[in-house]
Amino acid sequence: MTNDLSETPIVAVVLTEQGRAVAEALKPLFTGLEIHGLQTRVALADQLFGDVLSHLQDLFNKNRAIVAVCSSGIVVRALASELQNKQDDASVVVLSEDGQFAVPLLGGHLGANAISRIIASGLNGHAAITTAGDVRFGVALDDPPTGWTVANKTAAKKIMAGVLAGENVTLKIDAGDASWLKQSSLPIVDNAPHTIHVTDQVIADAGDELVMHPPSLVLGVGCERGTDSNELIELAMTTLSDAGLTPSSVAAVTSLNLKEDEKAVHDLAKKLNVPARFFDSPTLAAEAPRLQNPSDIVFAEVGCHGVSEGAALAAVGQNGQLIVGKQKSSHATVAIARAHGNLDGQSIGKQQGKITIIGIGPGADAWRSPAASNAIAQASDIVGYQLYLDLLGDLTKGKQLHQSQLAEEEARVRAALDLAALGKSVALVCSGDAGIYALATLAFELLDVENRDCWNRLNIVVEPGISALQAAAARIGAPIGHDFCTVSLSDLLTPWETIKSRIEAAAMGDFIISFYNPVSKRRRSHLMTAKDILLTERPDNTPVILARNLGRTQETVRVIELKDLTIDDADMLTLVMVGNSQTKLIERGAGRWVYTPRGYAKKMVGK
């Protein structure tokens, strides 16, 4: 139902580094925005392309919304041959390289005008809207405000053509607040030849009447744990249909907060393209006097006398009313309430909290996955060690930042979980991969040990990142081309004797081994002990890779022999990778490479 363009997947096409910088500033404005860059001029992008015209044509024909940071002439020449029916145009916006002017070139009423306005607001620029209705009357009947839908866009075009020709229109309102129409410059009079009908009812045969559906309804739902999504969806759709109400006017699906992690509730909300929002028991208990079907049994179980009716009423407020009382299926209930005016689904109750645990890689933008960047862009709050927050750069703009010291991992994870439990969307960031000596393990351990209801109901996602061992290997060639393992030399959490036994096993197994946390100010001897153990099982000239500050401006990657490894070669910012008995250092041309044979030699032609 919603036409909130901040949720539209948009491709920003950039041809220069300046254009890329402007496109980066758009990421906080649009969820999932991708940056596509011209490979001969742009170093970093989510996707690189070679030919500008063919790439724009391909995106347009795939119906991708485009923000082209370049001259309008380039886009016109690229897309002129692709234009067929304006009803089918993708949204195309041209944005100047200084970010000051956003021009909706195509698909103005299909999203481009709205995208341009969002850009102009976010970058303090200007949206050059040229569509006739917007310019003359301040409205576009086929592109209403967020939450509204148009039942018959053909009628919208006809009516707009009529009023542009000097004809009048009648406004008929059954539900919702149509102030945006009343306050426009539309010639609204009684008994006009054209009618705009604002209603949350299904109109089977509107004829030439323009039917608009406002966001005036709320579905309150309840269900047993694990209820099949299809059952709840069928009950909700049947209840709306029996009442003659359109799903297009549903602004939100609401329930008790105990259902925050109930799949059926979220699937129903997804089906209707609206948010799922939740209330606590005291809030629903306060609605008891207005319930049609109060239940002492429900009160004994969850602390309120009705979930579906209570949630619907709490959402529409004291001026709203319950218009369909509780309807039941085998495992679910649904009720419908109507607001006195319009509803913003995102402001009702609270959302299910979300925590995304993100490995941002070694630190370079190019080594951070698009999925990680998108998750950070979508978050309201970011929790992390200050260095990692700094590495994110402009991605942190507009976010609530929560930083802690390096050794305060537990406090950091607890803070992220608690923020998410408040209904926030939280990004918990760490370097490398979140599941390799990082915060994902601690988060799940806290969930396991404490078993807190407010944490258990969270939407938890882990986004992978490039680990230090992958980055180090890529920088120097292919040293982990055969079986390998990792060992942390920090004994703060693991006894040294356990660590030592693992090193001995890795040495006996001839594993390539990567040492994390090799040396600290307090811990000075463990790396040398590891060296001595490995020398008992592999040659003293075994290549050792010393990779420090990977992906950052101070990056260094050196290769020495195992016999030459000293305590001064490493610190906490260094990954120490020791090859196995087969690992080789080679010099070819200007390159110095390390690789571990996989066994292909015996298959090579001529061998």
Under DSSP, the state recorded for 495 is -
Which CA distances in Å does 285 have to 100, 217, 229, 389? 50, 21, 26, 42
First-to-last alpha carbon distance for the chain, in angstroms, is 65
pLDDT of 8 higher than 80 = no
Which candidate, 98, 81, 145, places its Cα nearest to that of 118? 145
pLDDT of 500 higher than 60 = yes
- Cα dihedral across residues 292, 298, 302, 303: positive or negative: positive
Q: What is the 3-state secondary structure (H, E, C) of 251-266?
A: EEEEEEHHHCCCHHHH
Which CA distances in Å does 488 have to 445, 555, 577? 19, 21, 12
Residue 60's φ and ψ, nearest 5 degrees, are -60, -45
Using pLDDT thresholds of 50, 70 and 90, give the confidence band for residue 5.
low
pTM score: 0.78
- pLDDT number for residue 132: 53
Using pLDDT thresholds of 50, 70 and 90, give the confidence band for residue 607.
low
If DSSP codes are grouped into helix, strand and coil, which group holds residue 176?
A: coil
Using pLDDT thresholds of 50, 70 and 90, give the confidence band for residue 244.
very high
Question: Which pair of tokens denotes residue 131?
Answer: 């569509």
If DSSP codes are grouped into helix, strand and coil, which group holds residue 409?
A: helix
DSSP 85-151: -GGGPPPEEEE-TTS-EEEEEE-GGGTHHHHHHHHHHHHT-EE----HHHHHHS--TTS--TT-EES
Arithmetic mean of pLDDT over the chain = 91
In sequence order, the 6+-apart residues with CB closer than 8 A to the CB of 274 are: 1, 2, 250, 251, 252, 253, 345
Residue 413's φ and ψ, nearest 5 degrees, are -70, -40
Using pLDDT thresholds of 50, 70 and 90, give the confidence band for residue 186.
confident
If DSSP codes are grouped into helix, strand and coil, which group holds residue 290?
A: helix
pLDDT, tens digit (0-9, with 9 covering 90-100), for 438-473? 999 999 999 999 999 999 999 999 999 999 999 999
pLDDT, tens digit (0-9, with 9 covering 90-100), for 26-68? 888 887 889 999 999 888 888 899 999 999 999 999 889 999 9
* Separation between Cα atoms, residue 479 and residue 557, nearest integer Å: 13
In the chain the domains, ranked by start, together with CATH numbers, are: 5-130 (3.40.50.11220), 149-213 (no CATH), 217-347 (3.30.420.180), 366-466 (3.40.1010.10), 469-595 (3.30.950.10)
Which CA distances in Å does 357 have to 193, 413, 564? 58, 9, 39
* Separation between Cα atoms, residue 35 and residue 23, nearest integer Å: 7
pLDDT-wise least confident of 155-164, 239-248, 415-424: 155-164
Which CA distances in Å does 558 have to 387, 480, 555, 576? 24, 16, 10, 10
The runs of H, that is alpha helices, within 317-360 are none
pLDDT-wise least confident of 218-222, 239-243, 350-354, 367-371: 367-371
User: Side chain identity at 441, as an amino acid letter?
Assistant: T
Neighbours of 16 (CB within 10 A): 15
Q: Across-strand partners of 458?
A: none
Using pLDDT thresholds of 50, 70 and 90, give the confidence band for residue 303.
very high
* Separation between Cα atoms, residue 584 and residue 578, nearest integer Å: 11
Which CA distances in Å does 574 have to 193, 240, 514, 552? 77, 61, 10, 12
Q: What is the largest CA-CA distance in the chain?
A: 97
Using pLDDT thresholds of 50, 70 and 90, give the confidence band for residue 501.
very high
In sequence order, the 6+-apart residues with CB closer than 8 A to the CB of 154 are: none
Nearest 10 degrees: Cα torsion 99, 103, 107, 109 = 100
Which CA distances in Å does 148 have to 143, 251, 263, 384, 551? 9, 9, 26, 39, 47
Opening angle at CA 88, ends 83 and 89, nearest 5: 55
Q: What is the mean pLDDT of residues 191-209?
A: 88
H or E element at residue 164: helix 153-164
Using pLDDT thresholds of 50, 70 and 90, give the confidence band for residue 3.
very low
Question: Which pair of tokens denotes residue 147?
Answer: 């939450």
* Separation between Cα atoms, residue 82 and residue 58, nearest integer Å: 10
Query: For the chain, what percent of residues have pLDDT higher than 70?
Result: 95
Residue 411's φ and ψ, nearest 5 degrees, are -60, -35
Question: Which pair of tokens denotes residue 200?
Answer: 């949350």
Q: What is the mean pLDDT of residues 550-573?
A: 93
CB 579 within 8 A of CB 542: yes
* Separation between Cα atoms, residue 527 and residue 533, nearest integer Å: 10
